[in-house]
Structure 1
Amino acid sequence: MQNTRLTKLLEFLAAEPNDPFVLYALATEYNTQNDAEKAFGYYLELIEKHPDYVGTYYHLGKLYEKNQDTEKAILVYKEGMLQARKKGDNHAFSELQGAYNSAMGLDYEDD
């Protein structure tokens, strides 16, 4: 089923190469398939071409963390929070802030 989904997404990309949703869907699909190289490629393309597509920052940051690059993850979360503020997307800001705090070791738990 994943190959069918990936094939369809690549067809959508050929038809609409600058559609941020298609780029995001491809990045997510490759991430799900553990193809970090392609996932990074599409997430980074999204940030470059569509910096206001705020969902990208959370998932890109998590991918950096998964690949043991916490410093880059923190930078991505910070940029994502700035973009979320610009858009007035408080939900995305909150999620990014939580991810940032966790990456920084600032997530607090009640005992």
Structure 2
Amino acid sequence: MTNSVQQDWPWPGSCWWKFDFHTHTPASTDTPWARQDLQLSHEEWLLKFMAADIDCVAVTDHNSGEWIDPLKATYAEMKQQADNGNPPADFRELTLFPGMEISA
């Protein structure tokens, strides 16, 4: 079920969402991006989840919130483009939840 269907859902009750509760960005130094020095833009990161039909993502980097605000800003730009009728390829609505894994 896509977000557009969920927004137009005419019946009260439950609705299924695809949620990834544990994600990392290049800010986590043990990710393939960081270990292999691969470049990944904020938009590319978001589009990977959109292409997988994920509805909600918790950003849970290790000891860092470095990517949370840039991801939120990039998503807002992408959403504005979509609202103006010019969405990025594979754009779909996505909810971001900030989080963090803290080493103790």
- One fold, TM greater than 0.5? no
The normalised TM-score by structure 2 is 0.33
Q: Compute the TM-score of the two structures, normalised by the length of structure 1.
A: 0.32
Greater fraction of residues in strand: 2
Larger relative helix fraction? 1
- Structure having greater relative contact order (Cα 8 Å, sep ≥ 6): 2
